[in-house]
Structure 1
């Protein structure tokens, strides 16, 4: 590998990159017909800590954050090791954009939370902890509606984070995979309707 390739962010994945480990252990599956419970392709125990995969394409993988800011906190990253957003390929960038929208819609349906953050940090000074480019999709329940006025919003990694509840995560990941499939099928129907009008 040449120095310019290394600087461009296309270096070989480091053996300790947790997102590369997830990408290596979870092969792509059909987003419109995802695997069901206990399928080997989505067995969370294939990695340590367990990974609860929601989406796995040829270019991307999405999974639940192990230290979520809220229930349903997802991470979406390219399958290939890319340290920063500027390192992703054009095809990866297009897929990331497409699935950010699809995952957002699925996440809102499953959690019932209609407000969310999409956050992406680049570099240590920008609060990037894992040096493998990723987006956070973070549901933001309306705390004022609950009467909890003294609580503050957690933002960009600040605030209380708790370990992911693995039993809940297993069920939540299954529901999210199904919701992603439903969103994609609905969009295909809409696309066909639009084409028929032409």
Structure 2
């Protein structure tokens, strides 16, 4: 299946998502039915299923996931490549990559994953807005050996995101983010 060509005729789709969805406290995520996270808010562009929305970063399900729970994390401000991200954005991206990785693992039950970040068209960056992929990899180990379907760095079969499943998965991951943050806040500082 070929990658979709992202039309930038109306601007960056990730900037559109960042502008459309207000920030919320990740320790108290909105319910799946709350209008502030309605996937239809991004029309006429594809529905967006928000996982995290802070003043600095936004995360949402990939519309062509490699696996269930495939999430994209990006800065709210338009930054085409990682080298254009500010120091504050970089720190926030790093912090949330770790939290989201734990939350996705908790929500999906998949404990192996890839974190992938591409810079420029030659590096397979489809949307020219800096973003990280967090990709659960349930197929990596099959009965104790490497799966014949193993794919690396975002390559492999991709199918369109199922909206009904996406609502459920996004809600589970938002809840898991809140749980991970709560667990962390109860840990003693070293």
- Measured against aligned partners, the alpha-carbon deviations of 1:77-124 in whole angstroms (never above 9, x if no partner) come to 000000000101111000000000000000001111110000000011
Alpha-carbon offset, residue 37 of structure 1: 1.9
2:35 maps to: 40
Report the CA distance shift for 1:185/1:155 in structure 2 as closer, same or farther (over 3 A).
same
Determine helix, strand or coil for the equivalent of 2:133: strand
TM-score normalized by the length of structure 1: 0.86
- In 1: Cα distance, 2:78 partner to 2:24 partner: 19
- Measured against aligned partners, the alpha-carbon deviations of 1:169-191 in whole angstroms (never above 9, x if no partner) come to 0011001001001101111111x
- Measured against aligned partners, the alpha-carbon deviations of 1:126-163 in whole angstroms (never above 9, x if no partner) come to 11010000000000114542599773222233221000
Pick the structure with greater CA Rg: 1
Report the CA distance shift for 1:182/1:144 in structure 2 as closer, same or farther (over 3 A).
closer
Report the CA distance shift for 1:21/1:143 in structure 2 as closer, same or farther (over 3 A).
same
What stretches of structure 1 of length at least 5 have no aligned partner?
Answer: 1-12
2:63 pairs, out of 61, 66, 69, with 66
Task: Note if 1:18 corresponds to 2:13.
Answer: yes
1:113 maps to: 110
Determine helix, strand or coil for the equivalent of 1:61: strand
What stretches of structure 2 of length at least 5 have no aligned partner?
Answer: 1-7
Tell me which protein shows more helix as a share of its residues. 1
2:76 maps to: 79
Q: How many pairs does the alignment contain?
A: 181
2:181 maps to: 184
